């Protein structure tokens, strides 16, 4: 009967399982001192197990003992946290010192009656090159500019009326202040909001969730606050006596943001001038809120 030839894999596995004996003999008496039965497969398994054990021990020593501090770039976690806290404190101190220096400088200017000088007027042309240039608009130019301005006002009114139909119908606005509307929205007269009269020191609330993008003072509108909301909506609050929020603050719908006042040259009494802008176009607040 012909012998069946085994494959290479079978011959390789058989060789791995072959048993060998390691014997240690006395060189003089040839007496057996130690013997151990081994196989190539057992040696491979033992080497793999020893590698895993050694790797586990090294990782444990590095992770759970102070030896990790001797690794370049590792450092102490507590020290890194302390360095970060010290950096934040140093930055805060620097900002505080800068603000204090500016305050002291302005205070010294006030005490010494030092006022900001008027800007230098542009110098007249002494070369005579442009003395014959006519800078006055012609009659045709004036008529054309008037037509463009009227067209822009008409387009603005048309866009505003189209927004009233339902662009903001699904948005729930919070009443900014309880009061009486004394001057309504009129885009034709550049009055892009409504004036609301309320009691003294009434708190003004944010009409939607958003982020404060402007909080400051202007000569015409006094202390005013602008808030950016989702959906490309911006709400504007003017003529306040006090601002309770700063630029970058996150506000919730109904959260107090200012106190009603009478600041600004264009204000004629304590009231809130409230505006809503949607996609860069002013919207009549009375169309989205029931005052």
pTM greater than 0.75: no
In this prediction, residue 1 carries a pLDDT of 47
Mean pLDDT of 88-99: 88
In this prediction, residue 169 carries a pLDDT of 73
**Residue 230 main-chain phi, psi, to 5 deg:** -70, 160
Give the contacts of 256 (CB within 8 A, at least 6 positions apart): 203, 204, 205, 244
Weakest-pLDDT range from 4-8, 112-116, 128-132:
112-116
Exposure on the CB side of residue 67, measured as CA atoms within 13 A: 9
Judge residue 134's burial from the number of C-beta atoms within 10 Å of its C-beta, 0-12 exposed, 13-18 middle, 19 or more buried: exposed
Residue 53 pLDDT exceeds 80: yes
Mean pLDDT of 181-192: 88
Q: How far is CA 14 from the centre of its chain?
A: 68
Q: Which tokens go with 58?
A: 């090294």
Three-class SS state of 45: helix
The C-alpha atoms of residue 277 and residue 274 are separated, in whole angstroms, by 10
Q: Mean pLDDT of all residues in the chain?
A: 83
In this prediction, residue 235 carries a pLDDT of 95
Residue 259 pLDDT exceeds 70: yes
In CATH, the architecture of 166-287 is: Distorted Sandwich (2.70)
Residue 231 pLDDT exceeds 60: yes
Higher pLDDT, 102 or 113: 102
Other beta carbons less than 10 A from residue 185's beta carbon = 21
**Residues 207, 176: contact at Cβ < 8 Å?**
yes
Percent of the chain with pLDDT over 90: 31
In this prediction, residue 165 carries a pLDDT of 42
């Amino acid at each position: 009967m012909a012998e069946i030839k085994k494959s290479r894999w079978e011959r390789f596995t058989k060789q791995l399982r072959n048993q060998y004996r390691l014997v240690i003999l006395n060189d003089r008496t040839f007496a057996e001192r130690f013997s151990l039965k081994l196989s190539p497969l057992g040696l491979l398994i033992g080497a793999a197990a020893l590698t895993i054990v050694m790797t586990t021990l090294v990782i444990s020593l590095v992770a759970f003992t102070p030896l990790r501090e001797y690794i370049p770039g590792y450092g102490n976690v507590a020290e890194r946290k302390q360095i970060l806290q010290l950096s934040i404190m140093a930055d805060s101190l620097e900002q505080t010192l800068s603000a204090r220096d500016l305050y002291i400088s302005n205070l010294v200017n006030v005490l010494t009656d030092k006022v900001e000088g008027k800007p230098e007027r542009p110098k007249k042309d002494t070369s005579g090159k442009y003395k014959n240039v006519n800078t006055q608009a012609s009659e045709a130019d004036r008529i054309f500019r008037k037509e463009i301005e009227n067209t822009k006002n008409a387009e603005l009114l048309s866009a505003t009326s189209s927004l009233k139909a339902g662009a903001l119908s699904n948005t729930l606005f919070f009443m900014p202040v309880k009061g009486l509307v004394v001057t309504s929205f009129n885009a034709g007269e550049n009055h892009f909001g409504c004036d609301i009269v309320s009691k003294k020191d009434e708190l003004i609330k944010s009409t939607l969730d958003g982020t404060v993008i402007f909080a400051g003072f202007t000569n015409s509108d006094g202390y005013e606050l602008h808030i950016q909301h989702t959906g490309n909506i911006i709400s504007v609050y003017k003529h306040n006596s006090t601002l309770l929020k700063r630029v970058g603050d996150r506000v919730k719908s109904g959260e107090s943001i200012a106190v009603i006042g009478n600041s600004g040259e264009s204000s004629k009494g304590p009231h809130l001038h409230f505006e809503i802008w949607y996609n860069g176009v002013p919207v009549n607040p009375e169309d989205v809120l029931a005052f």
